[in-house]
Amino acid sequence: MTAEVDTIASNVSRLAIRRENASEWLTLKPVSYADFGAETEKEENQVIEPGRNREKEVSVGINAPAGFKANFTPESLGHFADGVFLVTEKATPSSGGRFGSGTPTVVATGFDIGTDAAAAGFIAGQLVYAEFWGESGNNGLHVVTGTLANVVQVSGLTVEGSPPSDAYVKVVGHQFDAADVDVVVTGGSYPTLVSTANAFNTADLIPGMWIYSGGGSAGSNQFNTDGNSGVKHLTEQTLTLSNNAVIEDAHGEFGALEIVPGDFSFAVEMTAHFADVAAQAAVQNNLDIGYQLGYANTMRDRRAGVIFDCPRGSLGNGRNNVERNSSIKTPLTFSGARSDTFGYAPQRTSARASQCELGNRPPSRTR
């Protein structure tokens, strides 16, 4: 006979989040938890008296951290972008999805998004990505041939009137005409990317947004690059984004009265292989340095990625580490700053979540 054990296996637990004032919950897939749950603060009320007895502690406050680790993907970052960065995300046209707007369906001529497709920003030539549809052929990358009323016209789809609730379609790029895009260099000016059909003016681009020229498959047409940068051949790096929020307490309140966001910070600690003194010179001369970090997710043939781009900042540290039987390495720090050109600090671009401005800005929602 075995003893009854009152336990709950961790694998049966679930984690879900919900946007403020929203009714639907989004289930997440955490890898592990850290400091998750309420922690009650206690204080002793001890007095000096001959019996030397201890009084019972009293509860004076509560702290409720909710730390967890999750795999980094374009989708997972999009769930938290607005809340972490405290801005409204600048997104490309989309419809559907767990936190999206509308309930799209598939009709004979394309995706019916339930509202005027042209007014929603869909145009011919766009590349749209569809995911979580019941019919497998409806998922993946498609080219928009035009719009008609509520329909984003796409060929080759299977009619699907009642798709899963997570199904969505989103603009992720633009397909230019053959030989339409070229790089023009005039005199000593910077190279210019031009379109003969003037397609850039109709592609709804955002200043500062990254453009990837070339298809996602091997052998597709794209421009060659020499891979030059300031700092390259990194061995490790840690990127930290913080709102520097401060908890405000008040008498009579059990727990925080308010959480006030501070200055937004974009900080990187990295270690690079030492090749020349350029990094040290950049530190000493306080040069304007840009930082870009890209991740690609090739699982399930998705070819999706995320780019962190901080157009302006400064390098710190730069003192070489010299150890026996090891190459010389240079620890560096990067601190992001506001860019006068683009009007913000870092930005985040995703194939599925488009672009988000970052910076010391007020929250995008009110209470």
For residue 223, what pLDDT is reported?
Answer: 56
For residue 367, what pLDDT is reported?
Answer: 27
> Does residue 291 have a pLDDT over 80?
yes
- 82 phi, psi to nearest 5 deg: -60, -45
- Mean pLDDT value of segment 104-129: 93
What whole-number distance in Å separates Cα of residue 347 and Cα of residue 352? 15
- 334 phi, psi to nearest 5 deg: -125, 130
Mean pLDDT of the chain: 79
Q: Which of 64-73, 111-120, 197-206 has the highest mean pLDDT?
A: 111-120
β-bridge partners, 247: 259
> What proportion of the chain, given as a percentage, has pLDDT over 90?
21
For residue 58, what pLDDT is reported?
Answer: 86
- Mean pLDDT value of segment 176-195: 80
144 and 154 Cβ atoms separated by less than 8 Å: yes
Q: Which of 306, 302, 296, 331 is nearest to 316 (CA)?
A: 331
Least confident window among 189-193, 230-234, 353-357: 353-357
64 or 301, higher pLDDT? 64
How many other CB atoms are there within 10 angstroms of residue 216's CB atom? 19
How many other CB atoms are there within 10 angstroms of residue 30's CB atom? 15
For residue 228, what pLDDT is reported?
Answer: 52
CATH topology of domain 83-89+231-357: Pnp Oxidase; Chain A (2.30.110)
What whole-number distance in Å separates Cα of residue 63 and Cα of residue 38? 6
What whole-number distance in Å separates Cα of residue 321 and Cα of residue 300? 41
Going from N- to C-terminal start, the domains of the chain cover 83-89+231-357, 94-174
What whole-number distance in Å separates Cα of residue 180 and Cα of residue 182? 7
335 or 91, higher pLDDT? 335
Geometric angle at alpha carbon 364, from 362 and 367, rounded to 5°? 95
For residue 354, what pLDDT is reported?
Answer: 31
